[in-house]
Structure 1
Amino acid sequence: MSADPSPRLADPAPGTGEVEIRRSARRTRSVSAYREGDRTIVLVPARMSEAEERRWVGVMLEKLAAKERDRERRRTPGDAELAARAARLSAQYLDGRARPATVRWVTNQNSRWGSCTPAEGSIRLSHRLREMPEYVVDYVLLHELAHLLVPGHGPGFWRLLEAYPRTERARGYLEGAAGAARLPAPPDDGAAT
């Protein structure tokens, strides 16, 4: 088969959008694909047979779709979703008594995981938590929610967190993350803030 330097459109599977095949004489074995708007571009070697091309287009479409599904699954919540998560945690573990006025992600907390200003009813979580497991985010959020009810880290505060079954595991995770990032160790009272 001769090299066809001009791109052409493939006949994709239904629902996959437009697929453009680009053959390259410089490409000898590798096949790659990427999205460009609503179109998928598949780069193949110029000497690849049409049967192999069809097979690789299918493989690459599935790989792209899997990567997009994974990206969507790992998508981090925005402030509205974080506020809804706080409401669910408050209802589940604090009988709905902690009602923050605002809950939001912030980028200016590099030595804390979260903070709470009880007088304003505001909770802020560090953007660094976005890559951590959900149970860790839930723990820090619940920790800050508990501060709306009990400002300090006394026994009454820690009793509120006893209901969350992953408290110790989350605290261990945060200690490890702080050590890896060479952040200051959390206070001896176990505070997440």
Structure 2
Amino acid sequence: MPVDPLHSAPRTQRAAPSPGGPSTEGAPTAAGTDAVEVRRSARRRRTVSAYREGDRTVVLIPARMSDAEEKRWVGVMLDRLAAQESKRILGDAELAERAGRLSAQYLDGRARPATVRWVTNQNTRWGSCTPAEGSIRLSHRLKGMPEYVVDYVLLHELAHLLVPGHGPAFWRLLEAYPRTERARGYLEGVVAAGRLPHLPAARSE
């Protein structure tokens, strides 16, 4: 997989928490840039949980958890919540409409697919496209994943309608999308967790 030169979505600096006390971390969620409050508990031994509270997300973790573990679990729980909240599955027509909006927002409307649809026979990649036909296909395995992940795969294939390979020109097309690295990390995490076989980067046909 080629190196993605994009930056992670911006995060505000987290203040060091007092022992056993809460810490607040500004981290983007799938719905926007809601704040994240991390609450440490000496009574909590191993479990981690999270819930929405107004315009912020509260993540509950054991007090002994390291800063690195806290950062990793905050990301995991944000993605789990986003997946749970993304219950409405887009149909093919809605998927095509979404692709049109993404093209207009990030590619100046230059990518104009003729068809965009879900497929169930695509188990070795997340998405594919045929530039000559202007067709884009997304694996049904993406259904139920956070919207920003589906958007990334859509945008990835839209970019392939303009640039077939994964060279610098291709990745420059995706620079405007702020969640490329986060989406790639989510998909790589799914593979690493063993829920799916190893899937290579989406590619053109």
| TM-score range normalised by the length of the shorter chain | 0.5 to 0.7
How far apart are 1:184 and its partner, in Å?
2.0
Paired residue for 2:202?
192
- Percent of aligned pairs sharing the same letter: 83
Match of 2:169 in 1: 156
Q: Secondary structure at the match of 1:163?
A: coil
Larger deviation, residues 121-130 vs 173-182:
173-182
Give the structure 2 partner of residue 106 of structure 1.
Answer: 119
Give RMSD over aligned pairs: 1.8
Gapped runs of 5+ residues in structure 2?
1-83
Which position in structure 2 is the counterpart of 1:93? Answer: 106
- 1:173 corresponds to 2:186: yes
Structure with the larger helix share: 1
- Do 2:86 and 2:144's aligned partners in 1 also have CA atoms closer than 8 Å? no
Other-structure match for 2:88? 75
Number of residue-to-residue matches in the alignment: 119
Which one of 135, 140, 148 corresponds to residue 153 of structure 2?
140
CA contact 1:171–1:192 (8 Å) conserved in 2: no
Unaligned runs of 5+ in 1: 1-70
Instruction: Provide the rounded CA distance (Å) in 2 between the counterparts of 1:168 and 1:72.
Output: 21
TM (norm. structure 1) is 0.59
Q: What's 1:127 paired with?
A: 140
The structure with the largest alpha-carbon Rg is 1
Q: Is the 8 A contact 1:179 1:185 kept in 2?
A: no
Letter matched to residue 184 of structure 1: H
SS at match of 1:123: strand
For residues 88 and 124 of structure 1, do their structure 2 counterparts lie closer, same or farther at Cα, with a shift above 3 Å needed?
same
Q: Distance in 2 between matches of 1:146 and 1:85?
A: 14
SS of the residue 1:115 aligns to: strand
Give the TM-score normalised by structure 2. 0.55
* Per-residue deviation, residues 4-38 of structure 1 (Å, max 9, x unmatched): xxxxxxxxxxxxxxxxxxxxxxxxxxxxxxxxxxx
